Amino acid sequence: MTDHAAIETALKQRLSALTGEVDAIGAELSTPLDADFSEQANELEGQDALKSVEAVQLGEIDAIHAALARIEAGSYGQCRVCGKDIAPARLVALPTASTCIACAA
Protein backbone atom coordinates (compact mmCIF):
# COMPACT_ATOMS: atom_id res chain seq x y z
CA MET A 1 0.00 0.00 0.00
CA THR A 2 1.27 3.43 -0.92
CA ASP A 3 1.80 5.99 1.81
CA HIS A 4 -0.49 8.92 1.13
CA ALA A 5 0.47 10.91 4.23
CA ALA A 6 1.73 13.92 2.25
CA ILE A 7 -1.43 14.06 0.15
CA GLU A 8 -3.58 13.67 3.26
CA THR A 9 -1.75 16.57 4.92
CA ALA A 10 -2.16 18.76 1.83
CA LEU A 11 -5.86 17.88 1.62
CA LYS A 12 -6.41 18.78 5.27
CA GLN A 13 -4.60 22.10 4.80
CA ARG A 14 -6.70 22.91 1.73
CA LEU A 15 -9.85 21.92 3.63
CA SER A 16 -8.94 24.27 6.45
CA ALA A 17 -8.30 27.14 4.02
CA LEU A 18 -11.54 26.52 2.14
CA THR A 19 -13.54 26.33 5.36
CA GLY A 20 -12.17 29.72 6.38
CA GLU A 21 -13.02 31.20 2.99
CA VAL A 22 -16.57 29.80 3.06
CA ASP A 23 -17.03 31.18 6.57
CA ALA A 24 -15.85 34.60 5.40
CA ILE A 25 -18.25 34.50 2.45
CA GLY A 26 -21.08 33.55 4.79
CA ALA A 27 -20.26 36.50 7.01
CA GLU A 28 -20.15 38.83 4.02
CA LEU A 29 -23.48 37.54 2.71
CA SER A 30 -25.14 38.06 6.08
CA THR A 31 -24.29 41.75 6.34
CA PRO A 32 -27.26 44.08 5.84
CA LEU A 33 -27.64 45.86 2.53
CA ASP A 34 -27.01 49.59 2.19
CA ALA A 35 -30.06 51.84 2.48
CA ASP A 36 -29.29 53.46 -0.89
CA PHE A 37 -31.03 51.53 -3.70
CA SER A 38 -28.20 52.07 -6.22
CA GLU A 39 -25.71 50.73 -3.69
CA GLN A 40 -28.01 47.78 -3.03
CA ALA A 41 -27.90 46.88 -6.72
CA ASN A 42 -24.09 46.78 -6.61
CA GLU A 43 -24.09 44.81 -3.39
CA LEU A 44 -26.59 42.27 -4.76
CA GLU A 45 -24.43 41.79 -7.84
CA GLY A 46 -21.45 41.18 -5.60
CA GLN A 47 -23.47 38.72 -3.52
CA ASP A 48 -24.35 36.73 -6.65
CA ALA A 49 -20.65 36.44 -7.45
CA LEU A 50 -19.86 35.40 -3.87
CA LYS A 51 -22.59 32.76 -3.94
CA SER A 52 -21.05 31.30 -7.11
CA VAL A 53 -17.60 31.20 -5.53
CA GLU A 54 -19.08 29.65 -2.40
CA ALA A 55 -20.81 26.91 -4.43
CA VAL A 56 -17.53 25.97 -6.12
CA GLN A 57 -15.71 25.92 -2.80
CA LEU A 58 -18.40 23.78 -1.17
CA GLY A 59 -18.05 21.31 -4.04
CA GLU A 60 -14.31 21.15 -3.47
CA ILE A 61 -14.87 20.66 0.26
CA ASP A 62 -17.15 17.69 -0.52
CA ALA A 63 -14.51 16.21 -2.85
CA ILE A 64 -11.82 16.60 -0.18
CA HIS A 65 -14.00 14.91 2.44
CA ALA A 66 -14.57 12.02 0.01
CA ALA A 67 -10.83 11.72 -0.69
CA LEU A 68 -10.00 11.75 3.03
CA ALA A 69 -12.62 9.05 3.58
CA ARG A 70 -10.98 6.93 0.85
CA ILE A 71 -7.59 7.40 2.52
CA GLU A 72 -9.08 6.31 5.84
CA ALA A 73 -10.76 3.30 4.24
CA GLY A 74 -7.60 2.28 2.38
CA SER A 75 -9.15 2.67 -1.07
CA TYR A 76 -7.49 5.96 -1.99
CA GLY A 77 -5.65 5.73 -5.28
CA GLN A 78 -7.91 3.02 -6.69
CA CYS A 79 -10.25 3.89 -9.54
CA ARG A 80 -13.87 3.69 -8.39
CA VAL A 81 -14.91 2.54 -11.88
CA CYS A 82 -12.38 -0.11 -12.93
CA GLY A 83 -10.55 -0.74 -9.65
CA LYS A 84 -7.09 -0.20 -11.13
CA ASP A 85 -4.53 2.07 -9.51
CA ILE A 86 -4.75 5.76 -10.32
CA ALA A 87 -1.41 7.07 -11.60
CA PRO A 88 0.54 8.78 -8.80
CA ALA A 89 1.11 11.82 -11.03
CA ARG A 90 -2.67 12.20 -11.41
CA LEU A 91 -3.12 12.08 -7.64
CA VAL A 92 -0.43 14.72 -7.18
CA ALA A 93 -2.09 16.94 -9.78
CA LEU A 94 -5.65 16.23 -8.62
CA PRO A 95 -5.60 14.77 -5.10
CA THR A 96 -9.38 14.39 -5.07
CA ALA A 97 -9.41 12.19 -8.19
CA SER A 98 -11.50 9.07 -7.77
CA THR A 99 -11.01 7.68 -11.27
CA CYS A 100 -8.05 6.83 -13.45
CA ILE A 101 -7.44 8.81 -16.63
CA ALA A 102 -9.01 6.12 -18.84
CA CYS A 103 -12.24 6.02 -16.82
CA ALA A 104 -12.40 9.80 -16.46
CA ALA A 105 -12.48 10.27 -20.23
The predicted model gives 62-68 an average pLDDT of 98
Give residue 46's pLDDT: 87
Tens of pLDDT, residues 16-29: 999 999 999 999 99
Phi-psi region of 21 (alpha: psi -120 to 50; beta: other; left: phi over 0): alpha
The pTM assigned to this predicted structure is 0.85
Per-residue pLDDT at 74 exceeds 70: yes
What per-residue confidence (pLDDT) applies to 97? 97
Q: What is the average pLDDT across 70-84?
A: 96
pLDDT for 34: 82
